[in-house]
Amino acid sequence: MMDLELAGKTAVVTGASRGIGLAIATELIASGMRVGAGARTLTDGLKTSGAVPIITDLTAPDGPALLLDQARDELGGVDVLVNNLGGGGETEMATGFLDSTDREWSEIFDLNFFSMVRTTRAFLPELIQRRGSIVNFSSMTARIPHTSPLAYAAAKGAVSTFSKGIAEEFGPRGVRVNTISPGPVLTEQWTAPGGYGAQYAAARNVTVEQVLTDIPREMGVTTGAFADPRQVAALVAFLSSPLAGAVHGADYAIDGGAIKTV
């Protein structure tokens, strides 16, 4: 196993209760880091992950400050911030723009964009002091938006632009900033009974297994398969590592080839 030189470093991962966030926390711990896991709920997976759970709502104005204060108390400082919190795109799949409301757009942007802005602002003084790094999560939909989910794609487009600007401003002050843009990732929302995958299958009158085959093809994924959360987590670990010291302001697509442009 490659030594990523992360032993003894600390990280905070947002949206870490399940799915990609939990996989990231687990991978960073396996790489030798101490991890604070920001989440709104304490799941069984988070309890057994080895991360320090920090229960807070980052869509609340005081949520990021509470996350930072507890992370400092538990970890002694923060070297890496992983802004993974997001979601909500799947709820728009059956509707179009004219059926959407201001409230729905506001909620999508608050969860996917403004929570990241507030959290980054709260953590930057700490990261400047420790010459740390930030990994932000955008989405392939930011670069190839479809008619739906448009609000989610627009919010992720804002994330990509925000990340590039923060990289330009704070790179000279010692903070590396990079972005990851996943395509479809096989998390519990697709596989759990009663989850989105099951609902999508019921709406199409097909099996969940068929949905898991159809979705990558419909999204233009060249490999024809969902990404594994561990594959995404491994990329986060690399970007957090001193070995990636020259990687800055980059946007990594992990989408199985769905983005076709150069």
Pull the structure tokens for residue 253: 């697509």
**Read out DSSP for 35-73?**
EEEEESS--HHHHTSSSEEEE--TTSTTHHHHHHHHHHH
Give start and end residues of each alpha helix (H) in the chain. Answer: 19-30, 44-47, 63-75, 102-109, 115-130, 150-170, 188-191, 196-204, 208-218, 229-240
Q: Coil, strand or helix: which one is 154?
A: helix
Residue in 78, 56, 59, 77 with CA at minimum distance from that of residue 67: 56
Q: How far is CA 252 from CA 1, 50, 235, 261, in A?
A: 22, 27, 9, 13
Residues noted as catalytic? 152
